[in-house]
Structure 1
Amino acid sequence: MRQATITIDKQALKKNFNRVKSLAPHSKVVSMVKANAYGHDIKACLSALSETDAFGVACLDEAIQIRKLGYTQDITLIEGVFDEAELVSAIEYNCECLVHHQTQVEWIKKHHTSYKKKNLKVWVKLNSGMNRLGFKPNEIVSIIRELKSFGFTCILTMHFANADTEHDLNQQQQKLFLDIKEQCSPILASCCNSAALFKWQDLHFDYVRPGVMLYGASPFADHTVNELELTPVMDFSAEVIALNTIQAGEKVGYGSSFIAPHAMKIAVIGVGYGDGYPRAYQQQNYVYINGTLAPLIGRVSMDMMAIDVTDLPTSIGDKVELWGKHRLVDDVAIANGTIGYELLCRLTTRPHRI
């Protein structure tokens, strides 16, 4: 059997969840499990998140999957519903909806009796400067007051555009959020994603919304998971399927872009971009094998890649960690000019999952 394998460490996931609780002990936790739990497989992850207060998903299909697996925690649809019929289904499945435009508000007002009967809260999105979703500051207060007049319990929410860095917009967004919160008092509030959860303890409010930190990847470019006391949840590995010796001047891979500077021993690994491993690395990339890092050479192909093992005792069948606890997904992402989130989410269904 081909041995490209994704292994999920549920204990690591529990540990990362407990890290969230230690950082925000007085807030409820909405664990973000959208996009198949950031590529980790939602079914595999939910049991490790059994102590969470709620789950956050991007669409109703993801929420229904959670319900059909037997989980009863609150579920928040973070983009809301996309038509009125979906709102009826969301209520049926006990899902709390976010509203970010007037049409959604009209739908939820129309179905206020059944929505409130399920004790569902309405998440009201403020566009505080990111300019994706949400009501503008000059309209959101009246929207919240209108929803309150229908008897809804509202949660004021927003999303930081630059919580992972130092940026002028951070302070602008904070100030605006606090101002709207004061105008709408009393109201529940939520604005902290993974990065904000680490940075701004005074903004934890009623709900925090950890995402990538749950899975043991860093929300910061300049802080490793070890520094943040997080543990990688996913081990993505494969095996050596061939060993070759080449001479100086010989070439490796498509395009013959790698030319051996001297005699080399290379190992061929049975994994490639058909499994979700990135193809176009911009900086020297590495894998972890037999206790050390070994460099990739040549282009990653659909099913295979090559590494330099010239000075490393290597045998066919040796395990190669593509990313995990030794070769961090964040480091692979940096080499490929992207972020760990993307690599985790774009894995294909081909690797065997444990």
Structure 2
Amino acid sequence: MRTATVTIKPDALTHNLRQVRKLAPKSKVLAMVKANAYGHGIAVALPALQQADGIGVASFTEALEARELGWQKTIGLIEGVFSADEWQQAIDNDFSCVIHHLPQLQWALENVPDADSPTRTVWLKYNTGMNRLGFADDTIVEIAKQLHSAGYQLILTTHFANADNNEHPLNAKQIQCFSAVLAGLKQTVSADIKASLCNSAGIINFPEYHYDWVRPGIMLYGSSPVIDKRADELSLQPAMDFSARIMAMQIVKAGSAIGYGSHWLAEQDTKTALVSIGYGDGYPRVVADCAEVCVIDASSGKSYRCAIRGRVAMDMITIDISALPENIALDSRVVLWGDAPHVDEVAAYAGTIGYELLCRLSLRPERQVCSSL
């Protein structure tokens, strides 16, 4: 049977959440589980993230699913609602919402929830330079006053554009803008206004600005959010193992090409293996010539790095197994990403980021959950 497998490790998720707690011990944690928990499966992720103070989702459907799965703590809609009807549904389902543009403000002012409703706490989005969502400098204070006067508890929030790069000049500008507005709101509106600035990269690079809530995403899943440190250097453990099996082996003669477009030519007789994985499963179609996978020798348990040869096809890849033991078995396990190679390494081969690879896995691979690390 063709085997491509995605194995999720809940213990790694729990471990990574503990790392967030160590880095931001005084802050509450809004764990991001949008996009089906970054491709890991929200039903698997939620039990592993029980020690978070809340979760963040991008859509109303995701929020409803989390509630149906039994999540009783804060559920934050990080893009807010998209209609007046959704605002009422947010109240009915005890969701907390971001407010980032005028229609959302109007819906909130026209329909104020009861004092004990979680929807009474809103995340007021301030555009400090990302230039996607949020209110500008000339409106943020007045909007905060309106919401506070209506009885809302406010969490001022914004989003870094370059927190992964500690040296980018926009970071300092965003921090300065956010800090100044927060101080002004505490003076002129309410001393009880809370703040949330840091995503995963911000948690690592800007510890002095963790404020009341941090919002970890990719680091929960074991990927590094910063450009100058690997995941293992941050004590993060990959929560996903993506693997397949060797389905055939052959010798490719010197001067012969492999795969579509005859992209790779063998300089010498080369022992190759076909692996039952491809872009139809979610492995990137375009990877650099240096891209590698790991073959696990079932007899010894030893792991061998093997280079991909030729283009990635929809259903299979070819790898060079010339350096492997002669007795390497058909059906040997091949790790596409996991502990090694790490998803961040594969993303570098593909000229993208780990987020994308994790989120765009197809439904074809078999899904399983590891009971322990």
1:223-247 deviations in whole A, cap 9, x for unaligned? 1011111000000000000001111
Question: What percentage of aligned pairs have identical amino acids?
Answer: 47
User: Using the alignment, how far apart are the partners of 1:13 and 1:64 within structure 2?
Assistant: 22
Which residue of 2 is the match for residue 34 of structure 1? 34
1:9-68 deviations in whole A, cap 9, x for unaligned? 111111000000011111100000000000011111110001110000001100000001
User: Using the alignment, how far apart are the partners of 2:340 and 2:266 within structure 1?
Assistant: 27
Which residue of 2 is the match for residue 339 of structure 1? 353
Which residue of 2 is the match for residue 306 of structure 1? 318
Equivalent runs, 1:145-156 vs 2, <5 Å: 145-156=145-156
310-319 or 131-140, larger mean C-alpha shift: 310-319
Equivalent runs, 1:65-144 vs 2, <5 Å: 65-114=65-114, 116-120=115-119, 121-144=121-144
Which residue of 1 is the match for residue 213 of structure 2? 207
Which residue of 1 is the match for residue 224 of structure 2? 218
Which residue of 1 is the match for residue 200 of structure 2? 194
- The reply to whether residue 285 of structure 1 matches residue 288 of structure 2 is no
Any conservation in 2 of the 1:159–1:193 contact (CA below 8 Å)?
yes
119-128 or 337-346, larger mean C-alpha shift: 119-128
Any conservation in 1 of the 2:16–2:236 contact (CA below 8 Å)?
yes
User: Using the alignment, how far apart are the partners of 1:146 and 1:248 within structure 2?
Assistant: 74
Q: State the 1:117 CA deviation.
A: 3.9
- The reply to whether residue 353 of structure 1 matches residue 367 of structure 2 is yes
1:249-281 deviations in whole A, cap 9, x for unaligned? 111111111111100100000010000000111
Any conservation in 2 of the 1:87–1:108 contact (CA below 8 Å)?
yes
User: Using the alignment, how far apart are the partners of 2:106 and 2:216 within structure 1?
Assistant: 30
1:177-235 deviations in whole A, cap 9, x for unaligned? 00000111121000100010011111111100000000000112221011111000000
Any conservation in 1 of the 2:258–2:264 contact (CA below 8 Å)?
yes
Which residue of 2 is the match for residue 258 of structure 1? 264
Q: State the 1:70 CA deviation.
A: 1.0
Instruction: Provide TM-score, normalisation by structure 1.
Output: 0.98
User: Using the alignment, how far apart are the partners of 1:277 and 1:264 within structure 2?
Assistant: 24
Which residue of 2 is the match for residue 247 of structure 1? 253
1:57-113 deviations in whole A, cap 9, x for unaligned? 001100000001111010110000011111111111111010110110000111103
Q: State the 1:283 CA deviation.
A: 4.7
Any conservation in 2 of the 1:154–1:188 contact (CA below 8 Å)?
yes
SS in 1 for 2:156: strand
User: Using the alignment, how far apart are the partners of 1:143 and 1:283 within structure 2?
Assistant: 53
User: Using the alignment, how far apart are the partners of 1:221 and 1:150 within structure 2?
Assistant: 43
Any conservation in 1 of the 2:12–2:238 contact (CA below 8 Å)?
yes
User: Using the alignment, how far apart are the partners of 1:64 and 1:48 within structure 2?
Assistant: 19
| Aligned AA (1:305) | I
Any conservation in 2 of the 1:99–1:125 contact (CA below 8 Å)?
yes
- The reply to whether residue 173 of structure 1 matches residue 138 of structure 2 is no
- The reply to whether residue 272 of structure 1 matches residue 285 of structure 2 is no
User: Using the alignment, how far apart are the partners of 1:289 and 1:222 within structure 2?
Assistant: 28
User: Using the alignment, how far apart are the partners of 1:271 and 1:306 within structure 2?
Assistant: 10
Which residue of 1 is the match for residue 299 of structure 2? none
| Aligned AA (1:343) | L
Which residue of 2 is the match for residue 22 of structure 1? 22
User: Using the alignment, how far apart are the partners of 2:133 and 2:218 within structure 1?
Assistant: 21
What value does the CA root-mean-square deviation take over the aligned residues? 0.9
Deviation above 3 Å: which 4+ runs of structure 1? Answer: none
Q: State the 1:139 CA deviation.
A: 0.6
| Aligned AA (1:202) | E
Any conservation in 1 of the 2:289–2:308 contact (CA below 8 Å)?
no
Any conservation in 1 of the 2:96–2:118 contact (CA below 8 Å)?
no
| Aligned AA (2:123) | W
SS in 2 for 1:192: coil
261-270 or 214-223, larger mean C-alpha shift: 214-223
Instruction: Provide TM-score, normalisation by structure 2.
Output: 0.93
User: Using the alignment, how far apart are the partners of 2:50 and 2:225 within structure 1?
Assistant: 23
Any conservation in 2 of the 1:283–1:336 contact (CA below 8 Å)?
no
Which residue of 2 is the match for residue 233 of structure 1? 239
Aligned residues: 353
